[in-house]
Structure 1
Amino acid sequence: MERYFFDIQSGREFFADEEGLRLPNQKAAEVEAMQTLTGIARESVFKGSRPDLAVEVRSMTERLFCVSIVYRSESTKH
């Protein structure tokens, strides 16, 4: 099993994953990244904030992929 690291970007804050998780394959890492991202998003909405969020996944040697949520407010004035 390979170790995957899940670095979190929340607005302007960055949190590096120092430990990582041992998972059987990249598909399992993709599921973990999506679950992590939706959990963070759910907590942010309850706190009243809506920052852009991202989870960047890397192995010991390279960046693999990123999942993100981008909040945009398109308000129109009448």
Structure 2
Amino acid sequence: MADYSNPAEMAKSRRRAVIASYLGTTLEYYDFLLYGVAAALVFPHIFFVNMDPMLATMSAFATLAAGYFARPLGAVVF
């Protein structure tokens, strides 16, 4: 465990944690953005071919929603 008796070390560690969490969150939301665009444009035509086009699009977005709402559960478990 690190010794934070020096305020400069504590500030450096805090800055590193903020940058890491910012980059991780940005990457995660970028992933959801890409999946959302693909759910609207590509996935209904690839994964839900035999469905009505509107139902296929809604199924693709339901998959996106399931992943989005499962994130808090994953945070608790892992």
TM-score by length of 2: 0.32
**Which of 1 and 2 has higher RCO (CA within 8 Å, sep 6+)?**
1
Say which structure is richer in helix: 2
TM-score by length of 1: 0.32
| Structure number with larger C-alpha Rg | 2
Say which structure is richer in strand: 1
